[in-house]
Amino acid sequence: MTAPQTTDVITDTVRRYLDAVATGTAAQIAGLYAPDATVEDPVGSAPHRGTEAVTAFYAALENLRRSTELLALRVAGNEAAFHFRVRTEIDGNAHVIEPIDVMTFDDEGRITSMRAFWSAADMRQA
């Protein structure tokens, strides 16, 4: 049991996460996670666990032009749920998806788990 983080610490990590998803490398995104963190994206799929697997998961983003926008953030206890927009572009084709992610955090404000709620039906061409 870790000490509860303040809303400010968790909010800051979420904002840095969205910045990194938009402009960072896979390693920079993975650096916001605790070493043994899990990523389940989308919910229902097999989770990726640990820095190496999490970095590999985000590597697919590096070839895309990306932008992110926070739509709504709710922090409760040591966790956060947030609705956000990701716009990706490849070969001139832009796609938009607006998932709802749920994250847990450790006492240093690092992400210990991420679960992304979305399905293929939620993706649309921009």
Give the separation between CA 86 and CA 97, rounded to whole angstroms.
5
Residues that contact a second copy, how many (by CB under 8 A): 28
Active-site residue (options: 33, 41, 58, 101)? 41
Cβ contacts of 61-64, under 8 Å, gap ≥ 24: 61/21, 61/26, 61/29, 61/88, 62/25, 62/26, 63/90, 64/88, 64/89, 64/90
Nearest approach in angstroms of CB 69 to a second copy is: 13
Which one, 64 or 76, has the nearer CB to a second copy?
A: 76
- Asked if 107 is an active-site residue, the reply is no
| Cβ atoms of 111 and 105 closer than 8 Å | yes
Q: Which amino acid is at 125?
A: Q
DSSP H helices, 24-102, are 26-30, 51-59
Judged by CB under 8 A, the chain residues 63 through 102 that form the site for a second copy are 71-72, 74-83, 98-100, 102
Which one, 24 or 113, has the nearer CB to a second copy?
A: 113
Nearest approach in angstroms of CB 103 to a second copy is: 10
List interacting residues with a second copy (CB under 8 A). 4, 7, 42-45, 71-72, 74-83, 98-100, 102, 116-119, 121-122
